[in-house]
Amino acid sequence: MKALIVGANGQLGQELRALFPQAQAVDFKELDISDSGAVQNYDWSKFEIILNAAAYTKVDESETPEGMVKAWMVNALGVANLASAARQHRLSLVHVSTDYVFDGLKQGEYSEDNPIKPQSNYGRSKAAGDLAATSAPNHYLIRTSWVIGKGPNFVRTMLKLGSERNEVSVVDDQQGRPTFASDLAASSK
């Protein structure tokens, strides 16, 4: 099956490239998914599946006016553009999302049946993208949290700060499940 990996240079995208070396891999510079014209004019004829690892994941910056626009352009509009291409060219779409689409108040695990109730601009942009992904007739939605792979992530940030400071201040109002990017990539196989 010929796959296109979108968001190929991110933490998940790098692992998908390693797992699917025969796939074509693109990042923002090769295919700006927020540009509907670029997505429409892309040559989809050689693909059967889109593995979407592209995301604007700067949660705190998503609360700023500039960050909010970027989050919605990639996480919502970009996914809508990919879903449109999947519909038009009869491709499968695998879309990776986040637990930020939930309110975080539930005790225990969330399931696919739980209602979404995002509490941040990032979460709302991802929820909109999830909804857009479902417009592709053959779609798969994978939700994850706290991805840890090659590149910037919470663990690397804490290790860096710990080596630089005697004391590190960290917010304590969030819960998450660290997910290795390699494990997440393997789940899309």
Q: Which two tokens stand for residue 78?
A: 């970009």
In 3-state terms, what secondary structure has residue 144? strand
Sequence-distant (6+) residues with CB within 8 A of 36 are 77, 81, 84
In 3-state terms, what secondary structure has residue 177? coil
Q: Which residues are catalytic?
A: 122
CB atoms within 10 A of CB 154: 14
Q: How far apart are the first and last CA of the chain?
A: 11
